[in-house]
Amino acid sequence: MFIRRSIVFAALAAGAALAPAADAARVEITVGPPAPIYEPVPPPRTGYVWAPGYWEYYGHNHRWHHGYWVHERRGYAWVPHRWEEHNGRWRFEDGHWERGG
Cα distances (angstroms) measured from residue 19 to each of 1, 13, 46, 86, 88: 27, 10, 27, 28, 30
pLDDT of residue 49: 96
pLDDT for residue 18? 39
For residue 83, what are the β-bridge partners?
92
Please indicate, yes or no, whether the overall pTM of this predicted structure exceeds 0.85. Answer: no
pLDDT by 10s per residue, the chain, length 101 = 555 454 444 444 444 443 444 444 467 899 999 999 999 999 999 999 999 999 999 888 999 999 999 999 999 999 999 999 999 999 999 999 999 86
pLDDT of res. 59: 86
Residue type, 30: T
